[in-house]
Amino acid sequence: MPDIVVERKGRVAVLTIDRPRRRNAIGVQLVEDLTREFARLDRDADTHAIVLTGAAPGFCAGSDLKELADTDLTGMCAHEAHTGALARSIAFLDTPVIAAVDGFALGGGFVLAISCDVVVTGAEARWHLPEVTIGWIPPWGLQAVVARVGPVAARRLTWGAAPFDGREAHRLGIADTLVAPGESVLDAALREAEGLAALPPPAVASTKQFYAPLVAGNAEAADAWANRLFAGDCGHPVAQATLRRFGVKA
């Protein structure tokens, strides 16, 4: 079964990550499904904006280490590289993508969300990059963090000592729109999407094309370097203990 649900809201397509039993974690099938649907919707003349969200309980909990227990370190690095390529591709779509973050955005879920063009967050949403605390550098997507908050703040966020809520994400610039408690994050994201969908599509696409290299920068090279550092970190005892806990062969 696909790991996403696709719904049509007029000129807006809503992609919902639908793996609630795995906290919407990023597995191999999810990467394939999102890659396919982003490409398909970007070619669809009736789709003027895309909303990316997650089924309850949250947006996305990062890489699915339980699924990756069936592979080795080389396979895990390859999966992370494919996920990084998916996240980078969002900047180069002609169609704007809005992330609707409720519940949590953790690890790879955090970076997938901020790789979108606009980020809408609930005030109580939990944001965290926990990778360093469990033994390794995030293996992709750090250019997206730098693009939003600058390198010094990005470094501090990547150390990830403590999670923070949507209010702090908005204050930092990680999120663009803050939704008050009790209000629908998806509805707020749809309003953002509908506003963009009402604009002339060629001008919206041209704006994305102009800013893509400025936002993405050297993301491909940065992801390749981070992936190599990640592989090296996985030999450290703390990382080894984390991997053993999930059954990953490292």
The phi and psi torsions of 203 (rounded to 5 degrees) equal -70, -35
pLDDT in tens, 162-199: 999 999 999 999 999 999 999 999 999 999 999 999 99
70 assigned to some structural domain: yes
What mean pLDDT comes out for the span 209-238?
A: 96
**Percentage of the chain modeled with pLDDT above 90:** 92
11 assigned to some structural domain: yes
Mean pLDDT over each residue of the chain, to the nearest integer: 96
What mean pLDDT comes out for the span 38-47?
A: 98
Q: What is the pLDDT of residue 98?
A: 99
Structural domains in the chain (count): 1
Judge whether residue 69 has pLDDT over 90: no
What mean pLDDT comes out for the span 7-11?
A: 97
Judge whether residue 86 has pLDDT over 90: yes
Return the bridge partners of 54, or none: 17
Return the bridge partners of 164, or none: 127
What is the C-alpha separation between 221 and 36, in angstroms, rounded? 23
Confidence of residue 250 (pLDDT cuts 50, 70, 90): low
209 assigned to some structural domain: no
150-166: burial string, b at 16+ Cβ within 10 Å, e else? eeeebeebbebeebbbb
Q: Are 88 and 64 in contact (CB under 8 A)?
A: no
Question: Which residue has 């204050």 as its token pair?
Answer: 171
The CATH number of the domain where 86 resides is what? Answer: 3.90.226.10
Q: What is the pLDDT of residue 148?
A: 97
150 assigned to some structural domain: yes
What mean pLDDT comes out for the span 220-234?
A: 97
Judge whether residue 78 has pLDDT over 80: yes
Higher pLDDT, 1 or 78: 78
234 assigned to some structural domain: no
Q: What is the pLDDT of residue 93?
A: 98
Domain limits for position 39: 4-181
Judge whether residue 234 has pLDDT over 90: yes
With vertex at residue 78, the alpha carbon angle to CA 127 and CA 126, rounded to the nearest 5 degrees, is: 5
Q: Are 61 and 24 in contact (CB under 8 A)?
A: yes
233 assigned to some structural domain: no
Name residues whose C-beta falls within 8 Å of residue 130's C-beta, 6 or more positions apart in sequence: 62, 106, 107, 160, 163
Judge whether residue 220 has pLDDT over 90: yes
126 assigned to some structural domain: yes
172 assigned to some structural domain: yes
pLDDT in tens, 119-160: 999 999 999 999 999 999 999 999 999 999 999 999 999 998
Confidence of residue 236 (pLDDT cuts 50, 70, 90): very high
In 147-200, which ranges are E strands? 164-165, 177-179
Q: What is the pLDDT of residue 248?
A: 83
